[in-house]
Amino acid sequence: MISFKMPSLGADMEDGTLVEWRKQPGDLLQRGDILADVDTQKGLIEIEFFGEGVLEKQLVEEGQKVPVGTVLALIRPVGAEAEQVVPPAAAPEPKKEAIPMEPILQEEKPASPPVATEKTKRIKISPLARKMAEMHQMDISQIKGTGPEGAIVKADIEKRLAEIVPEKEVVEKPREVLQQAPVQQAAIPESEAIRKAVAAAMSRSNQDIPHYYLEKRMDMSKALAWLKEANKERSVQQRLLPVALFIKAVAKALDDVPDLNAVWENGLQRKNEINIGFVVSLRTGGIMVPAILNADTLSMDAVMACLNDIIPRARAFKLRSSELSQSTFTITSIGEGGGDKVFGVIYPPQVGIVGFGEIRDEAVVHEGMIGIKPVVDVTLAADHRATDGLIGGKFLAALNKYLQNPASL
Amino acid sequence: MITITYREALKSAIRESLQKDERVFLMGEDVGHYGGAFAVSKGLLKEFGPERIMDVPLSESGFTGAGIGAALAGMRPIVEIMTVNFSLLAMDQIFNNAATLLHMSGGQLNVPVVIRMGCGIGRQLAAQHSHSWEPFYAHVPGIHVLSVGTHEDARGMLLSALQSPDPVIIFEYTSMLNLEGEIPEDAGAVDIRKAKVRREGKDLSLITYGTGVYKAMEAAEILARDGMDIEVVDLRVLRPLDEETFLASVAKTHRALIVEDAWKSVSISSEVSSRIMEKAFFELDLPVERLCGVEVSIPYPKHLEDASVPQVQDIVDRVRKILKP
């Protein structure tokens, strides 16, 4: 029997709320199927299952908030007989240290007969009332509805709010109690939650990781000329942007210098797949880092299509678990009008981040002459525990090699 | 302000249009010598002559088509179809020609025709003369569909419709013809793109059009005495729907009741309700409700006729039920 656990969707995640089961006991699961929706600080995430089997039993009810690593469901692998299973007694303590980046799957031996879990009763609540409850992080299971069919309506929320405020004045922390109560439905995380998540990850990075920095100015004339030529044959929708070229070139350079495509967890651990995390700024403030999986094996058009798909979804908080948890290296690109250079902060437990500044014309010396060329200042911030400047330098040199020979990508 | 009947307001709009633009002419069954089946054009033949007030044979398809042709040729015809009940005979002209020609000609041919039709119940004319068929017309792209629910719009909508380069259908309500109302002395053209909030309130949005507008206003007045603060939204334009206005109203009140005379299934209210659900779902505190025509052929006896469409008391009762469950 496979125990399917609450995955870690980033180093900063400690727990998640299971919002909705997408599969029911008895459903046949195939590789890549979405098993459930989980609400995290980063939004509503679709949790995928990367195996094959039959969903035997759901162990967590919709609306329950559980720590990372809690067994969510038991899955019978293909071929195994249906058997009586028992859910593990308690969820493990949330780990504070580095957490594996992938959904945790492990075989577990069945023991005694199952404990019946009661189906949660669906709470009737008007859309407006639900929105208000989420805004105030209220536990709607504690509210009595007075609307049609006992539904909770706006007036009930207002009444409850009026009760909470006086309580807050008397007791010390009723607000926190409310926040810890299971949230019944997922809310789009407020920018505050995103801000907190970014703050936690970045603080940890700066506290734990001794960064070293390298910088190299790269000539973009060949790359831009190649893009211009390539785009002539493409429709507006399919047009390639320089960022696709950057992603592809970084993926190839990582293939050449694999020590940077790694995580630092009790030593350097190289990753087999090259999944490029790409920093997307949210309009409401904060950032998301969705991954372009296996970027080294994708064509340039596929990378571009992937970006076109993933950026709007990131902004709408609709990413899949694999996209959020599996990046092995990160790119940040400041874009037009931002800065000439950007020095990244490593996303733990990765060991490097490359930053692309604005592409702009500069005077450069070329074969003893001064000319004007489009250039981009590329920076690398890397973990000095994992690698040294020599490796970083090799990586930038490799990256430059690919940008000077875009056709090879 | 002047007091004027709905009929007089319609008539003064036609007269002003004829005076202002010599391309404008009125054509329809009995609009000339008889003065119009509902006396809306009474006296206009004498004032403007037979070239501009044109009696036509009893062939809705024929004369509506002639009107569309005149519009293509540069005129600004006002086609009067006596009632919506007979307009089915002209639907081929309206839907297959007026509504599509701009598209079929690749943008070369506009059809600036205005088609007025009497609509609705309330005069004991029995099933075949009492239909509320606004939803048929509101279904079709390529035409604008207006519903004259107030004296202000009776005075102003035609003037604005004649400025449109594209076909405009105007629904006028025969049951309202003798109704008196006040309009400013200088009342004239009105915006025919927007719905209008006729009364502001915060507890519930009564969304309606046509004969529903004054009924809703009266109901809101009664409910106000019991402390219920009702907002009345007059849709006015049934195609293209001005959803911005009613969505904003729902966002304010969080509750909606849609009222119309037309049959409930596949109606204007179904469309409005859908749009609220699609675009203002998280503003809703209660399910959207509807009060519509009973789905029967409209009966002849007065008391049954009254019972077949929503009345003021029905609106009051339903709102009370919604707000005080």
Final residue belonging to a domain, choices B138, B153, B183: B183
Q: How many angstroms separate the CA atoms of A308 and A76, rounded?
A: 37
What pLDDT, on the 0 to 100 scale, is given for residue A308? 87
Which residues of B participate in catalysis according to the annotation? 60, 129
Within 197-256 of B, beta carbons closer than 8 Å to A belong to 254
The model scores a pTM over 0.90: no
Q: Give the mutation candidate from B252, B254, B285 for the A interface (greatest A CB count, under 10 A).
A: B285
pLDDT digits 0-9 by tens, B222-270:
999 999 999 999 999 999 999 999 999 999 999 999 999 999 999 999 9
Q: How many angstroms separate the CA atoms of B45 and B290, rounded?
A: 43
Assign residue B234 the CATH number of its domain.
3.40.50.920
Are B93 and B152 found together in one domain? yes
Are B155 and B57 found together in one domain? yes
- Report CA Rg, chain B: 19
When CB atoms are compared, the residue of A127, A146, A148 closest to B284 is A127
Q: For residue A56, report the phi and psi dihedrals to the nearest 5 degrees.
A: -85, -45
pLDDT digits 0-9 by tens, B36-53:
999 999 999 999 999 999
When CB atoms are compared, the residue of A128, A146, A147 closest to B283 is A128
Q: Taking CB atoms and an 8 Å limit, are B286 and A148 in contact across chains?
A: yes
Are B94 and B115 in contact by the 8 Å Cβ rule? The answer is yes
What pLDDT, on the 0 to 100 scale, is given for residue A11? 65
The pLDDT averaged over each successive group of 10 residues in chain A (409 residues) is 81 80 85 83 80 85 85 80 50 48 49 48 87 86 86 90 64 39 45 80 89 94 91 85 91 93 88 89 81 89 88 80 84 81 91 92 88 93 93 94 89
What pLDDT, on the 0 to 100 scale, is given for residue B61? 97
A320 touches B: beta carbon within 8 Å: no
Final residue belonging to a domain, choices B150, B183, B216: B183
Reading the block at residue A29, the tokens are: 């699961």
Are B192 and B160 in contact by the 8 Å Cβ rule? The answer is yes
Residue B111 pLDDT exceeds 90: yes
Q: At what angle do helices A389-404 and A221-232 cross, to 10 degrees?
A: 40
Give a yes or no: residue B252 inside a domain.
yes
- Report the domain count for chain B: 2
pLDDT-derived band at B281 (thresholds 50, 70, 90) equals very high
- Report CA Rg, chain A: 25
Are A268 and A209 in contact by the 8 Å Cβ rule? The answer is no
CA–CA distances in Å: residue A7 to residues A29, A33, A277, A322, B190? 17, 15, 18, 10, 60
Q: Is B206 helix (H, G, I), strand (E, B) or coil?
A: strand
Q: How many angstroms separate the CA atoms of A66 and A8, rounded?
A: 12
Q: Taking CB atoms and an 8 Å limit, are B282 and A127 in contact across chains?
A: yes
Q: What is the 3-state secondary structure (H, E, C) of B256-312?
A: EEEEEEEECCCCHHHHHHHHHHHHHHHHCCCCCEEEEECCCCCCCCHHHHHHCCCCH
Q: How many angstroms separate the CA atoms of B9 and A398, rounded?
A: 81
What residue ranges define each of the domains in chain A, with the CATH number in brackets?
A: 2-107 (2.40.50.100), 127-180 (4.10.320), 192-408 (3.30.559.10)
Final residue belonging to a domain, choices B183, B215, B247: B183
What pLDDT, on the 0 to 100 scale, is given for residue A385? 92
Alpha-carbon A263 to chain mean position: 16
Are B124 and B165 found together in one domain? yes
Least confident of A25-34, B93-102, B142-151: A25-34
The residue range of the domain holding B276 is: 196-323
Q: Taking CB atoms and an 8 Å limit, are B325 and A146 in contact across chains?
A: yes
Q: How many angstroms separate the CA atoms of B50 and B55, rounded?
A: 8
Residue B24 pLDDT exceeds 50: yes
Question: How much of chain B exceeds pLDDT 70, in percent?
Answer: 100
Are B106 and B131 found together in one domain? yes
Residues 6+ apart with CB under 8 A from A27: A54, A55
Are B131 and B206 found together in one domain? no
Burial class (CB in 10 A: 0-12, 13-18, 19+), A215: middle
What pLDDT, on the 0 to 100 scale, is given for residue A80? 63
Are B159 and B219 found together in one domain? no
Assign residue B46 the CATH number of its domain.
3.40.50.970
What pLDDT, on the 0 to 100 scale, is given for residue A79? 66
More confident residue, B109 or A134: B109
